[in-house]
Structure 1
Amino acid sequence: MFFFEDFCKRVEKTTVEPKDIEKFRLDIKKVIMWLGTGVPLLLMGLYQGYMFYLNSTKYAYLVFSIIFIYLGLKHLKTIFEFGITLNLKEGKIISKGVDLSFDDIQSCTLKEQSVGKSSRAQVVIDIITKEKKEIIIPLMMGRKLIFIAILRDKLKNRFRIVKG
């Protein structure tokens, strides 16, 4: 809770001169974490596949190989897939599966909540569109303060911060 209140104070003080197109990628800590698990899983899967190649009678090697390769590729996919682009020239938020105009946003809320299966609370942007769709963007990217400051400046009275 203390972190979020401090983060909100820093957001309120932040001023930014944005470019026409701002790109936000995964935070370096998250990249290292996903690479640190994805690459070893992929290597273990390849090793298990090689062991199956040498001992083609033991199908357990093949099963473990498929599982490890699948998990490793899933982790690597997460790294390269995450990205949010703010196209300020056209007034859009562009991400995987989301192409949202600033005019279509009814409200945008910065708050702390748990996302997905995790019980740990994290800072998120909760966007409600005029069609009553809810889009939750977890702030896992680098340059979070700049991202939030741009949204705050562009959305003006539709942007709010919910503390506590």
Structure 2
Amino acid sequence: MEKFETSYYKTPIGTAKIVGSIEGITSITILDEAIKSSKNIPTCLQECILQLEEYFKRERTTFNLKLNPQGTDFQQKVWTELQQIPFGKTRTYLEQTKAIGNAKAIRSVASANGKNPIWLVIPCHRVIGSDGSLTGYAGGLWRKKWLLEHESDLTQQSLF
């Protein structure tokens, strides 16, 4: 039986609750309540916390983690495609549906994005409305805005 471990990591925009096992990261959720960062981090979660720290310190633009999100085949397809959106870039929901090969599945894609269990690492925050608006984000639109600005600042700095 798979043994799941949990750790907490304080980020600039809330506490991340990280759950995983030797099979990979199962979920990363962002919490509104202040919970202290875990002191004893299970081995299977150490690399995840290290990469999150690097991301927030502006030292990392891609994640290289073993992921194990639980969801339907359709959700898995959407989450896999989300990982193809480059750092510092955005994609509309319509572009996302076309990328998975079903331009009529906007509501289904939006629903799958909303059920993304691995916050930030599977970058659903990079999906925006067709008019450029920040629409729907389980972690709150203010966090989506913060993350996009964080990535945009890094992208602009790297141009020089």
TM-score of the aligned structures, taking structure 1 as reference length: 0.27
| Higher RCO (C-alpha 8 Å, min separation 6) | 1
Bigger helix share? 1
| Largest Rg, 1 or 2 | 1
Bigger strand share? 1
